[in-house]
Amino acid sequence: MMFIVFIRVCTLHIDLFHILDTPRCGWTGRLQKIFEGLKNVRVITRAQSATWAKIKQEPYMSYQHYNISASTTISGFFQNRKYLSDAKQVIRQAFQFSDSYARHSEKVLHRASEKFAKVASPILVGVHIRLGDMKKPEIIKFGYTMTNISFYEQAFRHMGHLHEVERLIFVVSSDTISDTRKMLASLSKRYNIYYMEGGSPEEDMCALSKTHHMITSGGTFGFWPAWFVNGTVIYFSGYARPGSTLEKIGYCRECFNLPTWTPLGNSHVII
């Protein structure tokens, strides 16, 4: 979320902001390719900013108002929703997906609607399911908790209560699509589910951001399309295990997720 702070600098009427690049950081050029509003942003090196004032966010997920002037280097996670609240329009403009990604997402969502052609006036619900790295022993030990089928049973049912269930098409993105298919097999018998396969992470993110509503299993990847969606958002409330290292360093679901979003947890543990 560090880019949020650069966007916030713009809202403070500073005319020019930069992206700091380092030899170890390979995402700068990629982000400029993905997002239309970042294409003309100047990229500078660490050496060029060596004499600048420095602001570092601490602790994790804290919120603080910074008096930012020109020539300031900003670092930290900045994963508190309050950093977004006064710059919504600027962020939406800067992080508009490039045309190629927008076209790809249109095709994906069109295929989802075509698969369930009998659904009149479909309502698309994006679903991001993070499984892959969440199974690693070190991740579990640190305090991250993975969603299981009970969370999605609740989330799908809740979406069906809020909206016309017969019109819903759940568009699913996952880092482990084969495991996701197995986990949601029982729900596939009751709901219209379309699985996105073969696309890049950024293509999936773009498609999710174009849906009407969103279900997210936690983490920053799922957060962003949920934030861009102007509809109902359901998020996994059990992302950090109580008493874990993750919680102790400052993870706070109320700080991270928007107050208008609906929290749901795993209703039972699956071993």
Across the chain, what does the average pLDDT equal? 87
State residue 49's pLDDT score.
83
CA distance 118 to 92: 34
Q: How many residues does the chain have?
A: 271
Q: How confident is the model at residue 38 (pLDDT cuts 50, 70, 90)?
A: confident
State residue 268's pLDDT score.
58
- The average pLDDT across 195-213 equals 97
Label residue 72 exposed, middle or buried (CB < 10 Å: 0-12, 13-18, 19+): middle
State residue 93's pLDDT score.
87
CA distance 171 to 34: 21
State residue 21's pLDDT score.
59
Give 118's DSSP letter. Answer: T
pLDDT higher than 70, residue 18 = no
Phi then psi for 165, rounded to 5 degrees? -60, -35
Instruction: List, in order, residues 6 or more apart from 136 with CB less than 8 Å away.
Output: none
pLDDT higher than 50, residue 255 = yes
State residue 17's pLDDT score.
54
> For residue 141, which of 260, 31, 248, 24 has the smallest C-alpha distance?
248
Phi then psi for 40, rounded to 5 degrees? -100, 10
- pLDDT tens digits, 59-86: 778 898 888 777 888 888 888 999 898 8
Distances, alpha carbon 41 to alpha carbons 5, 15, 107, in Å: 14, 11, 29
> For residue 65, which of 53, 77, 83, 81 has the smallest C-alpha distance?
83
Vertex 63 angle, CA 224 and 55, to 5°: 100
pLDDT higher than 70, residue 115 = yes
When mean pLDDT is compared across 68-82, 130-144, 179-193, the lowest value belongs to 68-82
Give me 151's structure tokens.
């969370």
State residue 75's pLDDT score.
83
Q: pTM for this structure?
A: 0.89
- pLDDT tens digits, 220-252: 999 999 999 999 999 999 999 999 999 998 899
